[in-house]
Amino acid sequence: MTVRFGFREAEFQPDGFYLNGRKIKLLGLNRHQSYPYVGYAMPKRAQHRDADVLKEELGLNMVRTSHYPQSRHFLDRCDEIGLLVFEEIPGWQHIGGEAWKEQAVRDVEDMIIRDRNHPSIVIWGVRINESQDDHDLYTRTNELARKLDPTRATGGVRYIVGSELLEDVYTINDFVHDGGHKKYLAKEIRNFDTYDDTEGVDGETTGLRQPSLVTKLDYPVPYLVTEYNGHMYPTKRFDQEERVMEHALRHTRVQNASYADEGIAGAIGWCAFDYNTHADFGSGDKICYHGVMDMFRLPKFAASVYRSQKNVEQEIVMEPVTYWSRGERNIGGIVPLVVFTNCDEVEFIYGDERKGVYRPNREKYPALPHPPVVIDELTGHWGMKWEDAVFIGYVDGQEVIRKYYSRNPVPTELRVAADDMVLEAGDWDVTRVVVDALDEYGNALPFYADPVSVEVEGVGELIGPSSLSLIGGRIAFWIRTKGEAGNIRVKVSAPSRFGSQELSIHVQ
């Protein structure tokens, strides 16, 4: 048996997190390893792909395996690409009897023995997520973790303030930021209360609480925020424009607060991907719309908050938060128009008129490496002609990216693309296929919801239904192999507008 391992130095200090002696701010999201139609049952390629999405597409440097140890394939890929991991034992809020506690201790042992060879893991979660204090139980889990692996810090995720700190890092789910909604509810309903204690803090203006207000200690300790947003503002990828904008801005405000406080090692948002759940927790379709991507790994606008923090050498990012429609927002219009970007400045052209050049809003978001641009003026009223738009991004005075938006978009192209064109026979393999309905400028059509049908022939099969509806102009599905070599033919048909597109995927 061969086991890979690696070396690095990872330290949580009261003034932040240090990797190989260099201080970095942790920028992360939580991950459920859940997929449509199959739950957690996805093989190596899909697990690797998720790690790549988090690190390469979103630009994160950390992921939390909420709330259980996850696939070894996912951890292997995190090792390979340098995505740091907070891994924790399974559980959520509940602490059971003595037999249950013994199992929790065994879970700590099993997790560490299985995964301590992974250099990507920098902290062990040895407390049941969001559980109450239990001195005896969590003394045992911390002692065991330190015995099995004295090289890594321990953490224990809670939502309560003044919690007993037995771990090396005070890890907290901080849902203080609410955009002012708690103040509204407190005025409108009787006996208003929430399960998390944020009393006395203005959730409209506060992104994250100061560590000392949460720990209640009179000295600084290593401190990491392990969840925020999530259930505070569930948002569908296809929601109304003002909601998807506010969803993105809430992530922006919290990350700005994290970067601004040297006493916070970083913040891990809830969460990366939407996921299936139960009737007691999610939306009416039993889906938690808490992700910055949907469950098909298609991005919401909030994903651009994270992408735009990349260096321009990694990727040029310029994402206006708009469907470019006159009447989508309340009262009409599109301002304030937020543009998530890592460009130095953005030029905005409306019709034939150059409206101006706008720079990142460092007054409102001074701590972010790349604050968004906010365009706050565009005159026009109902009945006036709506125009095309052009956004141009500049770096060091040079144009680096340009995007066009149509005043009256026309369905023009059905794009069908697989993540992988070559799969492996033997053990089952999978790839995702993304279907986009595009306008004349290559933008997804956000109000396009026509049906498509999927046919699969050859040495593969479709995961899920063969009749799908585009959601916000997009949808995705997975194809799996059958163990044989050969070819898989995938045909996607949208007869109402586009006809058919075909792909051939080789299995070797």
> Mapped to the 3 state alphabet, what secondary structure does 90-150 carry?
CCECCCCCHHHHHHHHHHHHHHHHHHCCCCCEEEEECCCECCCCCHHHHHHHHHHHHHHCC
Catalytic residue (choose from 87, 130, 241, 246):
130
Q: Residue 92: pLDDT above 80? A: yes
Separation between Cα atoms, residue 467 and residue 116, nearest integer Å: 44
Q: Residue 435: pLDDT above 80? A: yes
Q: Residue 341: pLDDT above 80? A: yes
Q: Residue 227: pLDDT above 80? A: yes
- How confident is the model over 252-267, as a mean pLDDT? 98
| pLDDT at residue 277, rounded to an integer | 93
Q: Residue 196: pLDDT above 90? A: no
Q: Of the given ranges (213-217, 237-241, 278-282, 502-506), which has the lowest mean pLDDT?
A: 278-282
315 is known as an active-site residue: no
227 is known as an active-site residue: yes
Q: What is the pTM of this model?
A: 0.95
Q: Residue 380: pLDDT above 80? A: no
| pLDDT at residue 195, rounded to an integer | 62
Q: Is 428 left (phi over 0), alpha (psi -120 to 50) or beta?
A: beta
- Cα torsion through 217, 219, 225, 228, rounded to 10: 50
Catalytic residue (choose from 87, 88, 167, 227):
227
| pLDDT at residue 303, rounded to an integer | 98
- How confident is the model over 156-177, as a mean pLDDT? 96
Q: Where do the H-state alpha helices sit in 261-324?
A: 303-307
Separation between Cα atoms, residue 254 and residue 256, nearest integer Å: 5
| pLDDT at residue 200, rounded to an integer | 77
- How confident is the model over 240-256, as a mean pLDDT? 97
Q: pLDDT band at 187, cuts 50/70/90?
A: confident
Q: Kindly report whether the peptide bond that precedes residue 67 is cis, defined as omega within 30 degrees of 0.
A: yes
Q: Are 391 and 347 in contact (CB under 8 A)?
A: yes
| pLDDT at residue 483, rounded to an integer | 93
Q: Are 204 and 245 in contact (CB under 8 A)?
A: no
Would strands 451-458 and 486-494 be described as parallel, antiparallel, or unpaired? antiparallel
Q: Residue 218: pLDDT above 90? A: yes
- How confident is the model over 188-194, as a mean pLDDT? 77
Q: Residue 354: pLDDT above 80? A: yes
| pLDDT at residue 381, rounded to an integer | 62
Q: pLDDT band at 197, cuts 50/70/90?
A: low
| pLDDT at residue 287, rounded to an integer | 95
Residue 202: HSE in the Cβ half-sphere, 13 Å Cα cutoff: 3
Q: Residue 383: pLDDT above 70? A: no
